[in-house]
Structures are given as C-alpha cells and as structure tokens.
C-alpha cells in the first residue's frame, strides 16, 4: 500500500468515525432519547 493510500484511507476512516461518534454522543446525551411515557399510556 502506498503512502498516499494510507493517508487517504486513514483520513476517510477518521472522518467517518469522528462524525459517527459525534452524532451518537449527541443523540445519547439528549434526554429526549428516553421513551416517552405518555406515548406508552396512549398505546396501553
């Protein structure tokens, strides 16, 4: 694998993983992520 190949691969992997972690950490830290109790009441 060439040096250019390594740089291209690691850069792409890095960007994808960074976006992935950033998105999921924001979603998980959002308190809205808890199931909505009222909705359960409606369904029950």
Partner 1 sequence: MSGDRQRWGTKIGVVLAVAGSAVGLGNFLRFPVQAGKYGEGAFMIPYLIALVLVGIPLMWVEWTAGRYGGGRGHSTAPGIYDSLWKKSRFVKYLGIGGIFGPFLIYMYYVYIESWCLAYAYYSLTGQLSNITSSQGFIDFLSNYQGLSDAGFVSGTVPGFVFFLITFLLNMTVIYFGIRGGIEKLCNIAMPLLLIFGVLLAIRVITLFAPDPLHPDWSSINGLGFIWNTDLSALKSPKVWVAATGQIFFTLSVGMGVILTYSSYLRKKDDIALSGLAAASTNEFAEVIVAGAIVIPAAFIFFGPGEIVEIANSGAFNLGFVTMPQIFNKIPLGAMLCFLWFFMLFLAGITSSISIVQPSIAFMEDEFKIKRQKAVKIFGVVAFVLCQPALWFLHRGVLDDLDFWGANFVIVVGATIEIILLAWIFGINKAWDELHLGAKLRVPVIFKFITKYITPTLLLALLIWFFVEDWLDIITMKGVPPENIPYVLGIRLVLVGILLFLAIMVWIAWKRHKSEDKAKDL
Q: Please, what is the minimum distance in Å from the beta carbon of residue 39 to partner 1?
A: 6
1 binds partner 1 (CB under 8 A): yes
Cβ(14)–Cβ(6) below 8 Å: no
29 binds partner 1 (CB under 8 A): no
44 binds partner 1 (CB under 8 A): no
Tokens coding 6 = 């390594």
Q: Does 37 bind partner 1 (CB under 8 A)?
A: no
Residues 18 and 12: their CA atoms lie apart, in Å, by 10
Residue 24 Cβ, how far from partner 1 at the closest point, in Å?
6
């Amino acid at each position: 694998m060439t040096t250019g190949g390594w740089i291209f691969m690691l850069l792409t992997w890095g960007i994808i993983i960074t976006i992935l972690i950033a998105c999921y950490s924001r979603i998980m830290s959002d308190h809205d992520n808890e199931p909505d109790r009222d909705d359960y009441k409606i369904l029950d």
